[in-house]
Amino acid sequence: MKLGRDVTPRRRRPPSQLEYRRYLTFLLAVAAIGIALRWSAVSVGLMSDDFMQLGMLSGTYPGEGYAPFDLYSFLRRGDLLVDHVEQGTAPWWSVPELHGTVLRPLASCLLWLDHAVAPGKVVLWHVHTMLWFAASIVALGLATRKLLPAPVAIVAVMLYACDAGMVSPLSWLANRCVLVCATFGFLTVWAHAQWRDPDPYTPSWMQRRGGVLVGVLMAACISAGEYGLSILAYLGAWELFVGEGPARQRARALIPALIPVFVYLLAHKLLGYGTFGAEVYADPFHSPTGYAKWATTRIPQLIAAAFWSIPGATIHVFRFGLPSRLDHLFVPPDPTPDDYHMAHVHLAWWGIAAAVVVLLLARHAWYADERKALRALGVGAVVGMLPIAVAPSHSRLLIIAQLGTCAVVAAALVACARLLLGRAGLAPENPAGPPPKRWPTLVRGVLLIPLAGLLAWVHTIGDLRWGNAYIEHLDDLQAANIFAFTAGDLLSQPLEGRDVVILNGPSQSVGLYGEFVLASQGLPVPATWRPLALGGDFPIVATRPADDTLELFAVQGAWMHTAGELFFRRADQPLRAGDVLEYPSMRVKIVADDDGHPTRLQFRFDRSLDDPSLVFVVATKHGLQRWAVPAAGARNIVPLPRLPVATSAQ
């Protein structure tokens, strides 16, 4: 791969002022259409982390000093973890060093403004998110048009507006941060290219002081969240493949963006931010080997998800993504969760191989300057996946990567048309010579047709269908979580000041954040809400060996298998028979285990189980129901954890 100057004439000319105005009109139109296509997301309501942030803003969440800039400090390190377990915002199996905080001051402040300006108006908060979605479309359009010709930029913008990965940040208020990062990040890429490669219409102040604008935009981007680290990959790749001048000059050009990132990372370290103690989130600074293990599987999954618009999460691939008749190609009979995970990895590598074929066919239709820009965008997108690989693979992580992915996919679609029409670029092996011969060019175009057609379909119709179906799924899930609190008999007894113990939480919203869910609905709020089991899909038999003690044993199951449980404890920190966890109001003893996964537990409370201040609850398909504590020496069944069937209309 040559990094030197290419002698092929530039085929991309900067747009005139009239063309630029027309292009801006196009971007605004696409932004409006994008909002219309995803408008159903405004009705989803609150989900998961949103309830915790509601508790932070109301002052009922353990700790203080969250508003307005620290609403993403979900689990602070130190003695506060005991308070989390006591209140129920962290489960009893949490490791003492558990820590989950992220430095996102701008995103936090925007959430705080929602509550301050429009308290309780959840729909308006979602509309606010929609405006950031529109802004990110415009920002991506500016960046792609600066780097690529109009046809490629136009197609890239349309692909981005249809992307299914938008569903989570549009439906989940706490995840809005990625759209804020994307907006300022894409503008950073645009400003950097305008500054370093000015065209005749670039203002003189941009040519002289463009680095200042780059630094300001990068500061805004990184202050919205760590997703902004991925933008540095684009800037570095641009200087490597597109930028002109000696290496030292190119390196200096990165300083304006590096300064705010350095300040952010320094603050992140000195103020104690980070995520560690969890299995599914692997912080590279605190668990480098764990991060490396996950990155080797997550990054291929993310690359394939971005290029082919395959759902990023394994459960979405095999439950909502691939047709069931294709499952057998990747999944063995009677699969385990690990089998599904490895099948997803194998599928990802096949997707990457197919992507390489597409690029090899398409590159013959790209002009030299396009190849440079696409190389920078593609490398930037892939390298930018390194910081997001700390989290489980999911399409919502790919918003920043879509700048590069949508550009490369759009360029492949345009290349197919060029090859078929005989308008391909100059042959790379003969950059100064005549255009390539007609027949080889046509053959490449014909071979590219099915792959380009598949790409066009999955990134538009497929993404829109899947995305809207996923919005409906999230809407129904959120409605079911809310309905669980009102469908059963939970509210038939007074809850104020009492301690609720849920024996089989089916989700984090129901199992961990019950008091905040109740508060969001204006319903009576208990003093605490703690789970004894979370997410495990097995029934439990309960006995009462003593007046203040409840003993639970799993029927054909065990604790500490699910991702929801492993968020609070790593897999290499098992709980074995004889282990004891002590808290002020509860003592937990592991009575039996299956290779570190508890199968029998003993919970000793600080009072009699018959004390009226304790309310025992189970989650059933009929809603949250009061559970009868067995008499001393007797037993009772804890049913499978279930949510009631509900829709948003209820």
Nearest to 221 by CA among 193, 254, 188: 188
Structure tokens at 624: 């949250």
Q: Check whether 428 has a pLDDT greater than 50.
A: no
Nearest to 227 by CA among 172, 184, 256, 270: 184
Structure tokens at 289: 């080997």
pLDDT in tens, 55-87: 999 999 999 999 999 999 999 887 789 999 999
Task: Give residue limits of the domains in the chain.
Answer: 17-37+102-473, 490-638
Cis preceding-peptide flag for 68 (omega within 30 of 0): yes
User: What's the alpha-carbon Rg for the chain, to the nearest Å?
Assistant: 27
Q: Check whether 336 has a pLDDT greater than 90.
A: no
3-state SS, 137-195, equals HHHHHHHHHHHCCHHHHHHHHHHHHHCHHHHHHHHCHHHHHHHHHHHHHHHHHHHHHHH
Share of the chain above pLDDT 90, in %: 74
Query: What are φ and ψ of residue 542, in 5° steps?
Result: -115, 135
Q: Check whether 429 has a pLDDT greater than 60.
A: no
**No. of H helices and E strands in the chain?**
24, 13
Q: Are 580 and 544 in contact (CB under 8 A)?
A: no
Q: Are 301 and 393 in contact (CB under 8 A)?
A: yes
136: part of which helix (H) or strand (E)? helix 122-147
pLDDT in tens, 532-557: 999 888 899 999 999 999 999 999 89
Average pLDDT, the chain: 90
More confident residue, 630 or 320: 630
What pLDDT sits at residue 9? 42
pLDDT in tens, 433-477: 555 567 788 889 999 999 999 999 999 999 999 999 999 999 999
Kindly give the pairing relationship between strand 73-75 and strand 99-101: antiparallel
Task: Count CA atoms closer than 13 A to 5's CA, side-chain side.
Answer: 7
Cβ-based neighbour number of residue 4 at 10 Å: 5
Structure tokens at 156: 């890239």
Q: Are 618 and 624 in contact (CB under 8 A)?
A: yes
Q: Are 543 and 592 in contact (CB under 8 A)?
A: no
More confident residue, 421 or 28: 28
Structure tokens at 59: 């002052």
What pLDDT sits at residue 342? 87
Q: Lowest-confidence range among 13-17, 550-554, 565-569?
A: 13-17
What pLDDT sits at residue 618? 96
Q: Lowest-confidence range among 315-329, 339-353, 606-620, 627-641?
A: 315-329
Alpha-carbon gap, residue 280 to 263, rounded angstroms: 27
Alpha helices in 458-582 (DSSP H): 463-487, 508-511, 514-520, 563-566
What integer is the mean pLDDT of 234-257?
Answer: 95
Q: How far is CA 570 from CA 94, 97, 167, 276, 559, in A?
A: 9, 11, 29, 9, 13
**pLDDT band per the 50, 70, 90 thresholds, residue 321:** low
What pLDDT sits at residue 12? 61
Alpha-carbon gap, residue 457 to 463, rounded angstroms: 8
Kindly give the pairing relationship between strand 540-546 and strand 549-554: antiparallel
**pLDDT band per the 50, 70, 90 thresholds, residue 623:** very high
Mapping DSSP to helix (H, G, I), strand (E, B) and coil, where does residue 531 land? strand
What integer is the mean pLDDT of 177-181?
Answer: 98
What are the beta bridge partners of residue 590?
A: 601
Q: Are 559 and 598 in contact (CB under 8 A)?
A: yes
What integer is the mean pLDDT of 214-232?
Answer: 97
Task: Count CA atoms closer than 13 A to 515's CA, side-chain side.
Answer: 27
540: part of which helix (H) or strand (E)? strand 540-546
Kindly give the pairing relationship between strand 597-605 and strand 549-554: antiparallel
Q: Check whether 227 has a pLDDT greater than 90.
A: yes
Nearest to 312 by CA among 534, 464, 478, 163: 163
Q: Are 448 and 411 in contact (CB under 8 A)?
A: no
Sign (positive or negative) of CA dihedral 86, 88, 92, 96 = negative
**pLDDT band per the 50, 70, 90 thresholds, residue 326:** low
**pLDDT band per the 50, 70, 90 thresholds, residue 270:** very high
Structure tokens at 197: 């490669």
Alpha-carbon gap, residue 315 to 488, rounded angstroms: 29
Share of the chain above pLDDT 70, in %: 94
Nearest to 517 by CA among 101, 89, 72: 89
What integer is the mean pLDDT of 596-623?
Answer: 95
